[in-house]
Amino acid sequence: MTVVALALSDGVPLYELAAPCAIFGTDRSDLVGSPWYRFEVCAPADARVDRWFRATTEHTYDDLVAADTVVVPACHDGALRPPDDLVDAVRAAFERGARVISICTGAFVLAAAGLLDGRRAATHWLHAETLAKRHPAITVDANALYVDEGRVLTSAGKAAGTDLCLHVVRLDHGAAVANEIARLLVTPPHREGGQAQYVASSSPRTSYDELATVMDWALDNLGRPITIEQLAQHAHLGVRTLNRHFHARVGTNPSQWLQSQRVRRAQHLLEQTGDSVESIAGQVGFGTAAALRRHFRQVLGTSPDTYRRAFTRKAAAD
């Protein structure tokens, strides 16, 4: 059973704890047919959570060092200087082989531990410049909602912690399980775009309610060729206006959103059916196996065949 340790430091913000507790700390064994993660909250004695609570846990940073996955929520310190004992514990856990995840300014803990040097990393856009200046060996992506660098994963602001935790579940247990948890939490299983859509702007941001209807139509018709002109027609908008609404609402353009939805539908079919890659390519609108493989690798960094083998082995092991 995978042990997930949540690292608390004194004064840690409450919000950052919610996603890992709800996703890793709630028993979901009914979804996977095998034991869920063993979840441990690790903290110094009498550590405060925000201004209102005290952490009462039997687990210390020694337990954190022994965990398989370590989740580091936001650094509470106003100067973003994490406590040395937490930095040492996170570094030791990584050196033991643990996967380390940060939420929001938790990236400053990973950076202080030296885990982000030479890697791309995300943090809240408000603090991205500080992280980059303080740790020039890190490639800070101020727009990414989260960054997966293998055993080191970082996320942007608070809500992006949910995105990253669901991504980890998707890696460990497949898209179907991650999607079901997202449904239970009433949150999107995967958000498109980056932080740019949330950064304060001097120009008013538009909102177009019919965009949801257009997206639903596209998802119901993924197996058909869909042009941007057709999407615009269903939205009763011009193509340029549709693009503007997509960027404002989703943070990307309609074409990129459509391709990513096709890839995610393909993930589900690869996990849940024995259909050939060629057949799945047709069902999701890519037309040919070659096109599916190209887009699959662009989005997920792997091939459909490798992805299917990985989750077939996972299902057999479970």
- Give 196-207 pLDDT, tens digit per residue: 433 333 333 334
In this structure, the answer to whether residues 174 and 221 fall within a common structural domain is no
161 near 73, Cβ under 8 Å? yes
Name the domain count of the chain.
2
Tens digits of per-residue pLDDT, 76-105? 776 888 999 999 999 999 999 999 999 999
Based on the domain organization, do 84 and 232 belong to the same domain?
no
Count helices and strands in the chain by DSSP H and E runs: 15, 10
Residue 307 placed within a domain? yes
Winning range, highest mean pLDDT, from 155-164, 195-204, 300-309: 155-164
- The pTM of the whole model exceeds 0.85: no
Assess if residue 193 is contained within a domain. no
Convert the pLDDT of each residue in 161-185 to its tens digit.
898 999 999 889 988 888 889 888 8
Percentage, residues of the chain above pLDDT 90: 40
- Of 185, 216, 243, the last residue of a domain is 185
* Domain assignment of residue 276, given as a range: 202-317
| Structural domain includes residue 26 | yes
What is the β-pairing status of strands 99-102 and 53-54? unpaired
Question: Is there a domain that residue 197 lies in?
Answer: no
Provide the CA 1 distance to its chain's centre, in angstroms.
Answer: 22
